[in-house]
Amino acid sequence: MELPMARVKKVMRLDDDVRSQMISSDAPLLLAAASEMFIQELTLRAWQLVEEGRRKTLQKSDIAAAASRFEHFDFLIDIVPREDTKKVH
């Protein structure tokens, strides 16, 4: 997966502090790489739940469950609906 650089720059400029500043050519590349790794990790954790449930389709609820079960996704608490599930360290 590769995020489009124009879209990454556009998202970066949504922040009022960034909008009025210059963005170096390396910053969007770094942000895109970090975002791609984050998406991959969350998707892999959600896919594990799909396989545990012996299903073949990844659903929104699987993403929410992965975000709920693994503590390193706690920063998503205000974005992704939480489920009453046990945390995994």
Each residue's pLDDT tens digit, 19-70: 778 889 899 999 999 999 999 999 999 999 999 999 999 999 999 999 999 8
Say if residue 77's pLDDT is above 90. no
Residue 88's φ and ψ, nearest 5 degrees, are -120, 130
Decide if 65 contacts 49 (C-beta within 8 A).
yes
Q: Where are the domains of the chain?
A: 5-76
Instruction: Write down the pTM of the prediction.
Output: 0.78
Decide if 54 contacts 38 (C-beta within 8 A).
no
CATH number of 5-76: 1.10.20.10
